Chain A
Amino acid sequence: MAAITLKNIVKSYDKTQVVKGIDLEIDDGEFVVLVGPSGCGKSTTLRMIAGLEQPTSGDIIIGDRVVNNIEPQNRNIAMVFQNYALYPHKSVKENIVFALRRLKVDNDEIERRLSEISEMLQLEELLERKPADLSGGQRQRVAMGRAIIREADVFLFDEPLSNLDSKLRSHMRTEIGKIHNKFGRTSVYVTHDQVEAMTLADKVVVLHDGYIAQSGTPMEIYLNPTNIFVAQFIGSPSMNIIEGTLFNDYLDIDGYHLPRNKLSNVAYQETISEAGLKVKVGIRPDFFNDKAFFSETGITFNFTGLTIDLIEPMGFDKEVLFNLAGSSVKARLDLRSDITLGAKIDLLVDLSRVLIFDHETEQRL
């Protein structure tokens, strides 16, 4: 068991900086998900924790030792690779117990742990097979088993589910969650899938262009993103960003006046000149409701007479598109709404969920 600390980690290849100074504290037993678009440095960061890459500068501390110069094999870390990386010449069983054999763990103990893990991951039937004879999902489970059996201090996951189809992915996601709950090891999980980040993490770290854009619990990140990048990256469908102008009394969006004193999630309290302050307004599609089924309360605002441009039925809910201040805005309405294309609709928005970002820096106001 070990906590991990990254201190101002920088990684450059030749002249390109991939990771540009990351500070991160991961508590003992915490499940941290590094999430971000391709090329944001998340895999590189993970590989530096594993020891497969050397940081250009900065310190990595696992437990109470600085591990910068400790070889990966001596860091007591287990890792699940994106492409599984099973040993093709070994049977499933030998793949899983490879590390234990190396550590000269005695045979009874190996068998005990193997049977426990193969039962948990439903691998009993597959133990004698070679990786080539397994399906993608089975290989994934073998890779998990190989990592778990070590009982290492830290588990690292490098996009472990990205090669699975969506059904299997959500199943394995649940399994990983269960495994973490059972063993409670410090885990670092890299993904570009924000659903995995939201569902698995104790702490989500959103990386952008080599920096940490924001870190916090999934709900913090979802409800209170500190900048437009995080706001749009987390949540599906992503947050609508609409042009608006902030005045002393209200926020103007395309002629709609949202009372400023009800925007309880806007910290910005400065007085504004008469011309107003140009801002970007963020509203999640989930926070729109069809007025036909929800009643107005003190903290809702009614966008009246919106024209629907597109309807996308998703099953339980419907995503509708309409135009607001020149941007196409998406709202997620529940299945009772029987709107038709081109019809007018009134939508309610919870004002406490409306966010305002600086027009230039795109940081939260």
Chain B
Amino acid sequence: MLGKRTLTGRIGFALAILLLVSFSLLPFAQILSTSLKHQYDWGNPSLIPQTINLDAYKELLGLTEAKKVEIPAAIQKILNNPKLPKDKKEAIAAKYTSNDNLFPFGKYMLNSIIFSVGAATFSLVFSVMGAYSISRLRFKGQVVIQRSVLFVYMVGGVLLMVPLYQMAMNIGLASSLWGSAFCLFLIYIVQTLPVGMYMLGNYFRGIPFALEEAAMMDGCSRKEAIIKVVLPLSLPMLATVFIYCFIIGWNEYLFASVFLKQYPEFHTLPLALQELFVSKNAIWDRIMAASMLTLAPIVICFLFASRFMKGGKTDGGVKG
């Protein structure tokens, strides 16, 4: 029966694929569709907007002129009440006059990029060093370390969140902006390092040691052999690990919500999105446009990285 294909078999297979693909792609289509719809179109179940509306994107990316918001007459009356303390008046007025309906998307995105790219870069560097040592060097406790790195994932983030924050408080890091950012950085690195080490370690083991020995015979030190031979050959896995770490950092909400709570100007995209969802600015098209813009860098990143992820890099180096 192997390899024999009937028509029904083919159709069934195609349908199954279609079902699976649409199951994973439909949510994205929904996001894209809603973000492009006008308000009157929101109730329409069709995924294709009747007219394309780019306002939400323009607004998020700061391409529209800031709108002057008139204070409604009823509110003006309250403000005119002389008994109301001045600071209260200002607070109320600020709700209507400030441009806080503008979602400073660019700033949040920059924050997200700084955190996730920074953490991913450091994580990758440490992963390379750790993975190389557990896969190539012989030292006491090597096996224990190799097996125990993944234990980090035994304890979930929710459990660690409070003790970690307490520790950060106790040593005074949580009280400053830079301290908090540093803590978050460390947490992202620690969270991604084990998987990075694990993936890279396995990959390094697949690279014949003879190649490094050949480099050493050709006059390279061990470090040079790693840089000139091992790393270029590991490019696909390096890209994979980087993307993995980047995505973890990019999507991370839990720790960011704790450590960055008091520093709104340092909020990352997931935090900002969450706030957007619950704020009075939670309008469908804007939420969905923000989601889309949060998604986009990851998709672009993936497409870019897939160029490096071609397999078979080590073919032909050694025989057998």
The finding on whether chains A and B are genuine partners in a shared complex, rather than unrelated, reads yes
The reply to whether A73 and B211 contact each other, CB–CB distance below 8 Å, is: no
Stretch in A3-11, A79-87, A220-228 with 4+ CB within 8 Å of B: A79-87
| Contacts A132-B315, A163-B319 given; does A87 touch B214 at CB 8 Å | yes
Q: Which of B219, B221, B233, B319 is in CB contact (< 8 Å) with A83?
A: B319
Interface residues in B201-236 (C-beta closer than 8 Å to A)? 208, 210-211, 213-221, 224, 229, 232-233
Q: Is the CB of A73 within 8 A of B219?
A: yes
Contacts A71-B221, A132-B312 given; indicate if A81 touches B216 (C-beta within 8 A).
no
- Docked Cα-Cα span, A87 to B228, in Å, equals 10
Closest to A130 in B: B316
Contact B216–A72 (Cβ < 8 Å): yes
Q: Are B218 and A99 in contact (CB under 8 A)?
A: yes
B313 at the interface (CB under 8 A from A): yes
Query: Hey, which chain B residues are within 8 Å of A132, CB to CB?
Result: 312, 315-316
Cβ of B318 < 8 Å from any Cβ of A?
yes
A241 at the interface (CB under 8 A from B): no
CA A136 to CA B317, docked complex, whole Å: 11
Closest Cβ of chain A: how far from B25's Cβ, in Å?
35
Q: Select one of B313, B319, B320 contacting A89, CB under 8 A.
A: B313
**A167 at interface, CB cutoff 8 A:** no
Count contacts on A: residues with CB < 8 A to the other chain.
32
Let me know if A330 is at the binding interface, CB within 8 A.
no
* Bound: A362/B254 CA distance, A: 77
Q: Is A102 an interface residue (CB 8 A)?
A: yes
A59 to B315, CA, bound (A): 38
Interface flag for B314 (CB, 8 Å)? yes
Chain A min CB distance to B51 (Å): 52
The 8 A CB mask of B224-264 against A (1 = contact, 0 = none) is: 10000100110000000000000000000000000000000
B216→A83 contact, CB < 8 A: no
A84 to B317, CA, bound (A): 7
Q: Is the CB of B316 within 8 A of A131?
A: yes
- The answer on a CB contact under 8 Å between A87 and B315 is no
CA distance A82 to B318 in the complex (A): 9
A88 touches B317 (CB 8 A): yes
B319–A73 touching, CB < 8 Å: no
Q: Please provide the chain B residues from 302 to 320 with a CB less than 8 Å away from any CB of chain A in the complex.
A: 312-320
Q: Is the CB of B217 within 8 A of A86?
A: no
Interface residues of B (CB under 8 A from A): 208, 210-211, 213-221, 224, 229, 232-233, 312-320
In the complex, 6 of the A-B residue pairs with CB atoms within 8 angstroms, ordered by the A residue number, are: A50-B213, A81-B318, A86-B318, A102-B219, A139-B316, A150-B219
10 nearest CB pairs, A to B: A132-B316, A83-B318, A131-B316, A88-B317, A99-B218, A85-B214, A85-B210, A132-B315, A79-B217, A72-B216
Given contacts A81-B214, A87-B214, A146-B214, 13 further A-B contacts (CB under 8 A): A50-B217, A72-B213, A79-B213, A81-B213, A84-B318, A84-B319, A85-B208, A85-B211, A85-B214, A102-B218, A102-B219, A132-B316, A163-B320
